[in-house]
Amino acid sequence: MNSYINEIDFFKGNKPEDLAAQYGTPLYVYNESVLRQQMRKVEGLIKKYPYTANYSIKSNSNLSILKIALEEGLNADAMSVNEMRILLLAGFPAERIFFVPNNVSSEELTFAHDNNIMTSLDSIDQLRRFGKLFPGSRCAVRINPGVGAGHHEKVVTAGKKTKFAIAEEDIDEVFEVAKEYNLTIAGINQHVGSLYMVPDPFLAAIKNFLRIARRFPDLEFVDFGGGFGTPYHKLSDEAPFDIDKLSAEMEPILDEFVKDYGKAPLFKSEPGRYCVAESSLILGRVHATKSNYGHKYAGTDIGMNVLARPTLYDSWHDIEIIRDNEVVTSDKGTEVVTVTGNICESGDLLAKDRELPVIKTDDLVAVLDAGAYGYSMSSSYNLRPKCAEVMITGDGNAKLIRRRETFEDLISLFC
């Protein structure tokens, strides 16, 4: 693909320079149509049995996006009290929220319990804490199915080397603690890891998970987690994650389980990235270009404070160059360049030695697929304010959905 921006008409007639002038750069720009389309795809994952997709809001918790998820009929999962609070604020009823925390305090568990939000406990210790606080109640447990997957070791959340979930060998203890505190284990959940591009790791994990599920009597729900991938190399024609193939290949596995188990519990998934990643790009400005000892650099205002993923995981994000509101394509000539931010860290790199159309000072750059774990992991390092977010709505209007932080915001917490 030559240009994702042109291919899908990302800006829907809005001029990138106008957006930059009105809202400043760096700027997260979202495309509502892409967002809704992705959300609809995850909703169709399981058709034959009761199913809900829980949007995993850690990937992007902008209130406007949560309202769209609600409108699209998604449920949601939360990792913290504030994630539960913002979901309630967005209008999600408690029964459509699933609290899937890790190492939380009694206060956090109490918030969920008092708001009738189903909680999953991810260690025997936390299950015991929950049992002591709320004997006789219902909860879920997060099981580590022993199979992990993901784009980087930092995002693999199952298997033998992870802090998450309860190991299969400890399941007897789950039953003992549940009995001691008269807890009903209403559901079990897993999350194997984040970003796989083929269904196989997920299929292997659900097979194994359903084998484990048979040990739990009368489950109301079984949650398979998220992790469905995004084609971050779309400009090199990387194929998207084939959710229809996953759906088809899951069906016989579910059939077999339902037959053996004697009933179909509610199946759930927890996708984050798949819903939001492709719906957003970051618009930034090139403030300087230079050559250092033979290496060409393009210095932008998109630092690791704006997008942490390349620095944290060496993640790849495709980049497009915009000059005079037009995408500059590679047929006009390319060069190998390192695209950096404006943060005082050598690791503040968006792309290292990347072949790109020749970049000039004052160009705009668009960093693609930034909607997941982009803004939600951004920071105000170097006292740079967090950026604004704008949504290009279905009818082509540009709507501010979060204003830029100000210096006053930044200093408002000092005593």
Residues 275-294 that bind ligand LLP (CB under 6 A): none
Strand partners, 119: 99
Q: What is the helix (H) or strand (E) element at residue 25, kind and residue range?
A: none
Residue in 274, 285, 317, 343 binding ligand LLP, rule: CB under 6 A = 274
Q: 357 or 371: whose CB is closer to ligand LLP?
A: 371
- List the end-to-end C-alpha distance of the chain, in Å, as a whole number: 52
> For ligand LLP, which is the closer residue by CB, 65 or 337?
65
Site for ligand LLP in 145-204 (CB under 6 A): 155, 157, 191, 194-195
Contact region for ligand LLP (CB under 6 A) — 88-96, 198-206, 225-233, 397-405? 225-233
CA dihedral (254, 259, 262, 265) in degrees, to 10, reads 10
Beta bridge partners of 366: 283, 320
Short-list 148, 391, 382, 408, CA closest to 280: 391
Say which residue the tokens 């033979």 belong to: 294
Torsional sign, CA 70, 71, 73, 74: negative
The residues carrying an active-site annotation are 344
Minimum distance from residue 370 beta carbon to ligand LLP (Å): 10
Cβ-based nearer residue to ligand LLP, 17 or 238:
238
d(CA 217, CA 402): 46
Of 19 and 86, CB closest to ligand LLP: 86
Q: Please give the size of the binding site for ligand LLP, defined by CB under 6 A.
A: 23
Q: Smallest gap, in angstroms, from Cβ of residue 57 to ligand LLP?
A: 9
Which range touches ligand LLP (CB under 6 A), out of 39-47, 82-90, 266-274, 393-401? 266-274
- Amino acid in the structure at residue 382: N
Which residue type sits at 274?
Y
Q: By rule CB under 6 A, what string of x and - marks binding of each residue 75-114 to ligand LLP?
A: --x----------------------x--------------
Residues 137, 109 contacting (CB under 8 angstroms): no
ω into 101 cis (within 30 of 0)? no
Note the residues at the interface with ligand LLP (CB under 6 A): 56, 58-59, 77, 100, 155, 157, 191, 194-195, 225-228, 270-274, 309, 313, 372-373
